[in-house]
Amino acid sequence: MRYFIATASLALLLLGLAPAAAGETDKTAITARLKEWTDAFNARDAAKTCDLFSAELISTMRGRPDEGRDAVCRRIASTLANRNLNLRYTPRIDEIILSGDLAVVRLVWSLTTREGAKVVTWEEPGLDVFRREADGKWRIFRFLAFSTARD
């Protein structure tokens, strides 16, 4: 019986069926990383939000110069430190494309801010490029985001 299982597993691998299962596992891991980031941001945990970003991050956002990880993390920490501002992020993942240790995620982030009576919802269509790093975690090393505010 063990021989049969080993032979069947090898056959699946050779037929290219095993990588699909691995792809689903990677998609699940990337989705979980985005949920962890969302939970950390909504809990105002700046240190945990930064764990999603690679040390080699390059961020491109409308109206800003490209930024690296340190600048992005400082901006997030500063925003989260403002206790007069209530914040809530939620992602909508539209697509995850995998290629080995790289993944491209097409998504829309929604950020609702409340400062006093003023409530604004920002929609941020974006593209996050993830890389599986040496510690096995998927991290964003490039992203593009283009915000639009709605009152």
**Domain locations in the chain?**
21-150
pLDDT at 6 over 70: no
pLDDT given at position 151: 53
Q: What is the pLDDT of residues 64-73, one digit of tens each?
A: 899 999 999 9
The b/e string for 70-95 (b: 16+ C-beta within 10 A; e otherwise) is eebbeebeebbeeeeeeeebebeeee
Q: Which architecture does CATH list for 21-150?
A: Roll (3.10)
Can you give the pTM of this predicted structure? 0.80
